Amino acid sequence: MERAVFLDRDGTIIKDVGYLDDGSNIRVLPRVIEAIKLLNQNGFKVIVVTNQSGIARGYFTEEDVREINYKLKELLACEGAILDGIYYCPHHVNGIVEEYRTTCYCRKPNPGMLEAAAGEFNLDLKSSFVIGDNLADIEAGHNARCTAILLRDKYSWHGKNGTKIKPDYIARDLYGAVKQVVLGNLASKDDKGRE
Tell me the CB-side half-sphere exposure of residue 127, using CA atoms within 13 A.
Answer: 14
Q: Which is nearer to Mg ion, 42 or 143 (CB)?
A: 143
Say if CB 57 and CB 95 are below 8 A apart. yes
Neighbours of 135 (CB within 10 A): 19
Q: Which of 8, 84, 133, 168 is catalytic?
A: 8
DSSP 128: -
Quickly count: other Cβ atoms within 10 Å of residue 67's Cβ. Answer: 14
Q: Which partner, Mg ion, Zn ion, none, binds residue 152 by CB below 5 to 8 Å per kind?
A: none
Instruction: Supply the minimum distance, in Å, between the C-beta of residue 67 and Zn ion.
Output: 19
- Dihedrals phi, psi of 51, to nearest 5 degrees: -80, 125
Cα–Cα nearest to 83, from 174, 184, 193, 186: 174
Considering beta carbons, is residue 40 or 61 the nearer one to Zn ion?
Answer: 61
DSSP lists the bridge partners of residue 10 as: 14
* Least Cβ distance, residue 48 to Mg ion (angstroms): 11
Q: Name the segment binding Mg ion (CB under 5 A); options: 105-113, 129-137, 151-159, 169-177.
A: 129-137
> Is residue 8 near Mg ion by the rule CB under 5 A?
yes
Decide if residue 84 touches Mg ion (CB under 5 A): no
**Does 53 interact with Mg ion (rule: CB under 5 A)?**
no
Residues near Mg ion (CB under 5 A) are 8, 10-11, 133-134
Active site residues: 8, 10
Residues near Zn ion (CB under 5 A) are 89, 91, 104, 106-107
